Amino acid sequence: MLALLAALAVACFLVVTGLSHAYEQQRESLGTRWFSRGVADQNAKRFDAAVTDFRAALLYSRENYAYQLNLAEALIGMKHLGEASAYLLNLWDRQPDDGLVNLELARIAAQQGKNDQAIRYYHGAVNDVWPRDQEFQRRTARVELIELLLRLDQTADAQSELIALEANAGDNPELQKQIGDFFARAGDFDHALVSYNAALKSDKRNEAALAGAGEAAFELQRYFLAQHDLQAATALNPQDTQSAERLKTAELVLQMDPYRRQISAVERNRLVMHAFATAGQRLQACTTPASAATAPASPNSDLTKEWSALKPRITARDLLRDPDLLDSAMNLVFRIERSMSGACGTPSGPDLALLLIAKLHEGNS
């Protein structure tokens, strides 16, 4: 009897196996059909329809990796981050080294302000496996990671990622320019300049790279180079007002600097007198409201007194006669500009140029 029972069980098992094959085949075909529709909808940015299609596909293969991943992406398209995240976490549990899943999870975490999680997933996306275009995808993930790190002011981490990105950037001028931008945002203008120049190697008329190089050179106080690059950038794109502004300042610095070489003594003295007058005007303009409205103007009044005392001596004749007077005058000019910059905000025009000249010669003074 037991043998008969066992034989019956085996027979039933075989019948159910046959049924199961038919059932699975039907489900697979239905799943594939709905998935194809979903992909078409997703490609057409009809995320709502795509979500419905992928959900229908998942009815027939609930754990299908591709279906879940596409549903998650469609949900992200619909801004349903919570549910998308649930699907992605499920996929992550199954394949924690999937670059795309890590990248999507990182994006969601970043949008939800879960920055530590986002950084962890971005690292996964940078180091894990991608089914195709691995280098490109990893680079994309790294770029997003750097964006996040810079947004979080984690510049040291951002710089180390940037150096890794730079090493794999190849001859892609756009990427080189982007790396330059990132270095600039991280305050690493040396590396930024190198990256912009690398971008300019393959495309000398890349106006964004020229503007970036000019900006980096400006920040590095290499005003001749800044002038050169910014001139080229504004020539290519006259609408670039920021570069034009920078160029104007760089030119002013170069014109107003009495310490620059290869100028005559007369010209140097003229520049000192001009700088002295400019500083006096700044002092006057800045002192009036400050003294009236806010604080006791003791430092300003000291500077005013100093300036007034020195003013009679700042003549072409005295400057020629007393070479030390140039330094005294410029020293006072620099102190006035620094002090006024602190009290009245960042200056512009000639005052800004004088402030930058002050910084340029800080070591010397």
Partner 1 sequence: MGTQPDSQITSLDEIQPPAGWMHSRELWRAFFREDRFFLVLSVFIGVFSGLAVVCFRYAIDWSRLYLLGTGVVLTPLRLLLAPSLAGLVIAVLVIHFFPRARGSGVNQTKAALYIYNGYIPFRTAIGKFITAALAIGSGHSLGPEDPSLQIGACLASALGRRMRLSRERMRLIAPVGAAAGLAAAFNAPISAVLFVIEEVIGRWTAGILGSVVLSAVSSVVIMRWFLGSEPLFRIPAVELRRPSELIAYAILGVVGGLASVVFAGGIATLRPRCKALPRWTQYFQPAIAGLLIGIIAMLGAPQVMGAGYEYIDQAMHGQFTWEFLAILAGLKILATLLSFVSGTPGGMFAPTLFIGAMLGAAVGGAEHYLLPQLSISPGTYALVGMGVLFAGFLRVPMTSVFMVLEVSGNYSIIVPVIVANTFAYVISRGLQPLAIFDLLTRQDGLELPSMEEQREEDVLHVEDAMQPVQGPVLDAALSLEQALRALDHSEFEQLLVRVRSNAWGVVTKEQLQKEASAGKATANVGSLLSDQTVPYLHPDLPLEVALRYVDRWPLIPVVSRANFGQLEGVISQADVLRRYREFGEG
Instruction: Report the nearest approach of partner 1 to the CB of residue 74 (Å).
Output: 13
Residue from 62, 94, 151, 201 in contact with partner 1 (CB under 8 A): 62
Q: Is 255 in the site for partner 1 (CB under 8 A)?
A: no
**Smaller CB distance to partner 1: residue 53 or 73?**
53
Among 32, 39, 56, 117, binds partner 1 (CB under 8 A): 56
CB of 139 to partner 1, least distance (A): 31
The one segment of 18-26, 107-115, 225-233, 294-302 that binds partner 1 by CB under 8 A: 18-26
Q: 129: helix, coil or strand? A: strand
Burial of 4 (C-beta count, 10 Å sphere; 0-12/13-18/19+): exposed
> Which H or E run contains 86?
helix 81-94
CA dist 89 and 320 (Å) reads: 77
Q: List the one residue from 7, 12, 44, 295 that touches partner 1 (CB under 8 A).
A: 12
Neighbour-count burial for 151-165, b at 16+ CB within 10 Å, e otherwise? eeebbebbbebbeeb
- Considering the complex, state which of residue 10 and residue 235 has its C-beta at the smaller distance from partner 1: 10
Per-residue binder mask for partner 1 (CB under 8 A), 22-51, x = binder: -x--xx--x--xx-----------------
CB of 101 to partner 1, least distance (A): 15
Q: Does 292 bind partner 1 (CB under 8 A)?
A: no
| 83 counts as binding partner 1 under rule CB under 8 A | yes
- What is residue 98's three-state secondary structure? strand
Should residue 7 be labelled a site residue for partner 1 when binding is judged by CB under 8 A?
no
Residue 120 in contact with partner 1, rule: CB under 8 A: no
265 backbone dihedrals φ, ψ, rounded to 5° = -65, -35
Structure tokens at 338: 């620094």
Among 82, 96, 238, 289, binds partner 1 (CB under 8 A): 82
Angstrom distance (rounded) from CA 359 to CA 334: 9
Count of all residues that appear for the chain in the document: 365
Cβ atoms within 10 Å, residue 186:
22
* Cα–Cα distance measured from residue 141 to residue 147, given in angstroms and rounded to the nearest whole number: 10
Query: From the list 3, 167, 292, 293, which residue makes contact with partner 1 (rule: CB under 8 A)?
Result: 3
What gap in Å lies between CA 190 and CA 184, rounded to an integer?
A: 9
Binding residues vs partner 1 (CB under 8 A): 1-3, 5-6, 9, 12-13, 16-17, 19-20, 23, 26-27, 30, 33-34, 52-53, 55-56, 59, 62-63, 80, 82-83, 86-87, 89-90
